Structure 1
Amino acid sequence: MKIVYVYDALCGWCYGFSPVITQFQEKYKDSLSFEVISGGMITGGRIGPIGEVASYISWAYKGVEKATGVKFGSEFLNKTLKNGDAIFTSVPTAIALSVFKNLDPNNNIRFASALQRAIYYDGIEPENLDAYGQIALKFGLDAKSFVLKMKDPLYKKLAEDDFKKSAELNVSGYPTIFIKINGTYQKIGSGYIPFSELKSNYLSIKKRMK
């Protein structure tokens, strides 16, 4: 059985859900494998300066904080968001995840969480490739090599494959969590849910399999 976590690094609710999915993996890592798929929330015509959506984010983040307990950092709120000129795009983060999955697939949940913290707490700009190298460094990878791989068209193709997979699974919002059993996908979570609910949904399916 495999947990398939469809998220987007720029999804605020996914940022709020990061501690939940991380806790879930830690509890069940010995009996389940885990895969993260980038949904591609902001691609194509949606890509643009963060200033275009700043008015929405400036109040929406408070709801995420209240519901999930995560905190958005001052570097994001008072610099990236207020400056408004950083390009908001899901593509570089998806490419970074594709590179990481190739190098260290067992830690892709943790890396996805680290990407979100870097954006929404530390305030990195999504197109800052060197910042992704520094995140990779924290996982014991070579930063320079990681950035070079991000420029390889192969990993952009793999990121686009993730976007297609998300569409094939009919994911309409993030986060969405599936359990894959014998080639079939069953949804066990959609939108932010607490750990207790995710655990209950998983155990319910596991019980039916016995």
Structure 2
Amino acid sequence: MKPKIIYVYDALCGWCYGFSPVIKSVYERYQDRFDFDVISGGMMLGTRTGPIDVVAPFIKTAYHTVEEVTGVAFGEGFLREVEKGDMILDSEKPAIGLCVFKYYHPRKAVLFAHDIQNSINFDGKAPNDEDIYRYIAVNYGIDPDEFIHKMHEEEFKQAAYYEFALAKQLQVSGYPAAFIQSADNHFYMIAKGFTRLEDLEVRIENVIKEISG
């Protein structure tokens, strides 16, 4: 049994968008040595959902910091939506979409997280817009109508809420976060908040030495 890298993120988390190229690079480098999983944290649920202007007006300035620290760029489409302020922020649908995607491609969850964050933070697509999920489905050889149908099934909603609970069980209080789960079920935190690729790789190599010794 391979050790596993677990990435805990939220599709609406700007720092996760900044971290997305990092975790994608880790996936590309280490996918032969590790299994990978992505868990949604559920950052904006219930009373925390709503239009940007109401629930997250700070985004209008905070994105500059994310760009400066991480090197990513937020797209014009996203910035237009931020300025308008009426995009609905809700973590539930992207989390359900991730669970449906893992039904088809469990080993490619990192790529789904990367793609959906680009759709939101670069293209400016709303997380509740079903076109995002259709587009991603087609790109991975999945029938888009079937994908959307599964997103409305109770099974996948329950799976998403199970992931929210799992993130709490892992004591994740902020995103992004990443862990290595060893074959004997020990957990090693390798990222808490945005982490540069070179630092993350050092931590991964240190854990590899520890669990191999």
1:82 CA displacement: 2.0
Paired residue for 1:184?
186
Offset of residue 54 of structure 1: 5.1
User: 1:208 & 1:127 partners in 2: Cα distance?
Assistant: 42
Deviation of 1:67 after TM superposition, in Å, equals 0.9
Paired with 1:143 and 1:111, the residues of 2 have a C-alpha distance of: 14
Q: Deviations over 1:55-106 (max 9, x none)?
A: 300111011111111110111111x212222210000000000000111011
Shift of 1:130: 2.8
Q: CA deviation at 1:184?
A: 2.1
Partner of 2:106: 105
Equivalent of residue 195 in structure 1, options 185, 194, 197? 197
Say which SS state the counterpart of residue 135 (structure 1) adopts: helix
Summarize deviations over 1:8-54 as a string: whole Å, max 9, x none. 00000000000000000111111100000000000111011112245
Are the equivalent residues in 2 in contact too, given 1:16–1:70 (CA < 8 A)? yes
- Asked if 1 retains the 8 angstrom alpha-carbon contact of 2:12 and 2:117, the reply is yes
RMSD, aligned α-carbons: 1.0
Secondary structure of 2:57's partner?
helix
Q: Which residue of 2 aligns with 1:37?
A: 39
Q: Secondary structure at the match of 1:55?
A: coil
Written as runs of structure 1 = structure 2, the 5 A alignment for 1:43-122 is: 43-53=45-55, 55-78=57-80, 80-122=81-123
Return structure 1 stretches of 4+ with deviation > 6 angstroms.
none
Q: 1:19 aligns with which of 18, 21, 43?
A: 21
Between Structure 1 and Structure 2, how many residues are aligned? 209
Q: TM-score, with normalisation over the residues of structure 2?
A: 0.95
Conserved? CA contact 1:3–1:33, under 8 Å: yes
Shift of 1:163: 0.1
Return 5+ residue gaps in structure 2 as ranges. Answer: none
